[in-house]
Amino acid sequence: MRDSFTLYAQEIKQAVDMRRALEHYGIAVNSAGYALCPFHDENTASLKVYNKSFYCFGCGKGGDVIRFVRDLFGISFREAVEKLNADFTLGLPIGQRLTVRQARDMKPRQAQRLRTRSDEAEQKAQRFSEYLDLLQEEDHLRFVMEMCSPLEGEETPPAEWVNASRRLGYVGYLLDHFYLQENAESIAGKADNAA
């Protein structure tokens, strides 16, 4: 059976968000979600604070709340788990051997976390499929515009060309939106994985 440090780490990550942790440990976070990085000298805030993670664009450090406390205080994983439990008065029975009842009570929470991860993976797959559909539509619209382009001297361009031109602008906007959204999620994901 795994020890309570590992089992309760997920509970702590869910209970303590990054902004709250940084502010608790004396690091001010501005309204845009940036803070001065405590891991290197800087004059401009480059540490981005996400809900459950952080990432410094200056030094590249990132991770979850446990990684932040480990690095900030130079302590081990176990010590960071204990510190967060104590500092945020979570009351988790960390360091104790789990009773059968405690282990049984944790199973539904672990199952919920697995369902959430599965749902997130399904949503990402759906978004990727939508992205591929948009790329195919963009190619098709460019082909239609090329095939139906107005001839020299034509006063009114063909309706197919006009419609494809309008739709192509909108598809381009959607692709840009996908790109920006995925980049933001990728940076947050890298910060989570750095833990």
95 found inside a domain: no
pLDDT in tens, 98-150: 667 766 776 676 667 667 667 777 777 777 778 888 888 888 888 888 888 88
33 found inside a domain: yes
Q: Taking a C-beta distance cutoff of 8 angstroms, is the pair 140, 181 a contact?
A: no
Q: Is the pTM of the predicted complex or chain greater than 0.95?
A: no
pLDDT in tens, 22-73: 999 999 999 989 999 999 999 999 999 998 899 999 999 999 999 999 999 9
Q: Which residues form the domain of 165?
A: 120-193
Q: How many domains does the chain have?
A: 2
Of 67, 87, 107, at which residue does a domain stop?
87
Of 87, 111, 146, at which residue does a domain stop?
87
Instruction: Indicate whether 72 and 145 sit together in one domain.
Output: no
Tell me the backbone φ, ψ of residue 59, rounded to 5 degrees.
-110, -10
37 found inside a domain: yes
pLDDT in tens, 61-97: 999 999 999 999 999 998 999 899 889 888 777 766 6
Residues 6 or more apart whose CB falls under 8 angstroms from that of 36 comprise 27, 28, 42, 45, 46, 47
Q: Taking a C-beta distance cutoff of 8 angstroms, is the pair 36, 164 a contact?
A: no
Q: Where are the alpha helices (DSSP H) in the chain?
A: 4-15, 18-24, 65-73, 77-87, 100-147, 159-193
